[in-house]
Amino acid sequence: MRRYWHFLGIDRTVSSILIGRLWSLMSGPFNIVLLATCLSPEEQGYYYAFLGVAGISVFFELGLGVVLTQFFSHEYARLEWNVAGQLEGEPEAKRRIASILRTAIFVYALISLISVPVILGSGIWFFGRIEAHENLNWFVPWILLTILVGVAGGATPMTTFISGCGRLGELAKIQAIATIVASIGFWIALYAGMGLYAICISLFLSSIILWWWCLSQSFNAFMDLMKTDNSHVPFSWSIEVWPMQWRIAVSWLAGYFTFQAIPPIIFQTHGAIEAGKVGMTIGISYTIGSIGSTWINANVPKFGELASSRKLAELNSLFKSSLTRSVFFIAFAGFVLVFTLFVAGQYKAPFLEKMLPPGPFALVIASALAATVMYAESCYLRSFKQEPLMPVTMICSICTILTIAMTPPKDYWFFGIGMLAANAVIGLGFGTFVFFRSCNRLAKRPCTTCNIDV
């Protein structure tokens, strides 16, 4: 049995992440049924639009979590955990981690204070322009949701520290538990007729569990680092972190417009019902892509450690095996899902009216596969503190927005082909060319990974 799991590349970290992702996939059909039966078509449109508008938090986070994970993992290569639950090893590395963590806590507190009122006001303006049914209450749920988004984002410094310092498996385990509890709470709320409040209850439960675990399990490490003297630490946020962060920020914003912004735009241009169909399709394909990227995400901290130590042969081997397993899973799961939808269509299953037809659905999943490959390539290059794929993600985002703008009402094939062209032709094609060119340059680079290059 161990040989079987080893062949699939499933260790404790991967298995913990997979539990959460597979739960999302398996609970997806139940979510679809409950959303379709407990929410009206108009409420369903608001639900997916809520998720999309709340996603503008990436405009404030600016990909900082990704950057922090890389920096923590680079320093952790010279440290280890002791029996007291604290970090020990090279004093300079520990001082640098302390400096990074302190600054990150301050920055994320500031982000929450700014982002919550801005997102709240943006949502009130956005949804206030639409004439909703008199019985549809969106105002209070939106207020609660934006506050909870700020609370959840405040835990990012702790989660990136834990994952970057070799404890991603433990974090993934509690995140899986939080996902399961949040889903159950979401179902109960929907079944109880709480409507849009269900998403607030789900986020509240997951946030409480994650905050409790981070504070209870890593309290000693946090307090030790807060007491560590970093007055003479050779670390500069503006010189080391910011050059990488702004490039990743642009990539994240482009990613937002490539997927998360689609339902709100469709909401404005084609109405709530069409936004619900597109949103459900995007949500399902995004879930499959997220599960497929598990093998990549589980090894991101390890990528950073190996890149910091210049163990390129081991890094390349780990990357190739992770990418192969990710691609195989997405392709296989996508095929099974589309085939199932096709069979269900022969029996005129009523839930199919809530999503795109099987053909366009397959194109969206194929675009998600291409996006996952590009994401994996980005993760590899980020382990060297590089972000050369930023221009490619920008072009993909622009092409996606143009596709949405030019899509005629209910022309789902046009939408699917446009999504696939943007992500496969431009993202996967041109992006892979840039990836290999960057890899060749990195292989010839001196033994240092502290420089930030485009």
**322 has pLDDT over 80:** yes
Q: How many percent of the chain have pLDDT more than 70?
A: 92
Q: Tell me the pLDDT band of 185, cut-offs 50, 70 and 90.
A: very high
The pTM score is 0.73
**450 has pLDDT over 60:** no
Mean pLDDT of the chain: 83
* Most trustworthy range by pLDDT among 287-296, 300-309, 368-377: 368-377
- Name which residue leads in pLDDT, 147 or 40: 147
- Per residue in 211-262, pLDDT (tens digit) is 999 888 888 888 898 888 777 776 677 788 888 888 887 877 777 666 666 7
**194 has pLDDT over 80:** yes
Q: Tell me the pLDDT band of 453, cut-offs 50, 70 and 90.
A: very low
What string of DSSP letters covers 93-118? HHHHHHHHHHHHHHHHHHHHHHHHHH
**266 has pLDDT over 50:** yes
**192 has pLDDT over 70:** yes
Q: Tell me the pLDDT band of 1, cut-offs 50, 70 and 90.
A: low
Q: Which residues pair with 81 in a beta bridge?
A: 87
What string of DSSP letters covers 23-64? HHHHHHHHHHHHHHHHS-HHHHHHHHHHHHHHGGGHHHHTTH
User: DSSP class of residue 406?
Assistant: H
What string of DSSP letters covers 225-294? HHHS--TT----IIIIIHHHHHHHHHHHHHHIIIIITHHHHHHHHH-HHHHHHHHHHHHHHHHHHHHHTH
Q: Tell me the pLDDT band of 326, cut-offs 50, 70 and 90.
A: very high
**38 has pLDDT over 70:** yes
pLDDT for 284: 84
pLDDT for 8: 67
Please answer whether residues 85 and 178 qualify as being in contact, where contact means their C-beta atoms are separated by less than 8 angstroms: no
Question: Within a 10 A sphere around the Cβ of 134, how many other Cβ atoms?
Answer: 6
**128 has pLDDT over 90:** no
**283 has pLDDT over 70:** yes
**388 has pLDDT over 80:** yes
Q: How many percent of the chain have pLDDT more than 90?
A: 19
Question: Within a 10 A sphere around the Cβ of 106, how many other Cβ atoms?
Answer: 11
